[in-house]
């Protein structure tokens, strides 16, 4: 990743717009390479469990906000471990529990006072 790209990504993160990174041409090209060439379009978490599911998303092991310098790196140069891995949607959601919304808003205040008269 170039210094200019890193500065641009950090500006997006600071503005709370890091999702815009996923429309970058460099990311689209790299994620397609990871999903199709390296991971054979298979979810790697499912594969570890002996199951098959098609990959839909390329996941950053070290989150984009925490390590923007690794945003376009397949391997982490510090640990020599994979930084990008292909996952199915279900496995990706499990990797990001902070994104899941409760199924029911039981804790929310009612819109109107309930009356039975």
107 in any annotated domain: no
Q: For tokens 């205040």, name the residue.
A: 109
Domain annotation covers residue 86: yes
pLDDT computed for residue 56 by the predictor = 95
First to last CA, the chain: 66
Query: Structural domain of residue 54, as residue ranges?
Result: 3-97
Rounded distance between C-alpha atoms, residue 33 and residue 75, angstroms: 13
Give the residue-averaged pLDDT of 92-98.
84
Q: Is residue 117 one of the residues assigned to a domain?
A: no
The three-state (H, E, C) secondary structure of the chain, written as one string: CCHHHHHHHHHHHHCCCHHHHHHCHHHHHHHHHHHHHHCCCECHHHHHCCCCCECCEEEECCCCCCCHHHCCCCECCCCCCECEEEECHHHHHHHCHHHCCCCCCCCCCCCCCCCCC
Q: What is the pLDDT of residues 42-89, one digit of tens each?
A: 999 999 999 999 999 999 999 999 999 999 999 999 999 999 999 999
Domain contains 113 = no
Residue 114 lies in a domain: no
Total domains, the chain: 1
Residue 112 domain-assigned (yes or no): no
Residue 59 domain flag: yes
Q: pLDDT of 6-41, one tens digit each?
A: 999 999 999 999 999 999 999 999 999 999 999 999
Measured CA to CA, the distance from residue 4 to residue 44 in angstroms comes to: 32
- Residue 1 is predicted with a pLDDT of 87
The rounded distance, in Å, linking the Cα atoms of 38 and 75 is: 12
In a domain, residue 110? The reply is no
pLDDT at 117: 62
């Amino acid at each position: 990743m170039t210094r200019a790209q890193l500065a641009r990504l950090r500006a997006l993160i600071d503005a709370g717009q890091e999702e815009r990174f996923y429309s970058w041409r460099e990311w689209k090209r790299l994620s397609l390479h990871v999903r199709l060439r390296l991971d054979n379009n298979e979810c790697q978490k499912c594969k570890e469990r002996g199951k098959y599911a098609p990959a839909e998303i390329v996941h950053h092991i070290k989150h984009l906000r925490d390590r923007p310098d690794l945003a376009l790196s397949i391997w982490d140069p510090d640990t020599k471990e994979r930084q990008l891995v292909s996952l199915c949607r279900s496995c990706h959601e499990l990797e990001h529990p902070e994104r899941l919304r409760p199924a029911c808003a039981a804790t929310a205040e009612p819109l109107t006072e309930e009356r039975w008269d």
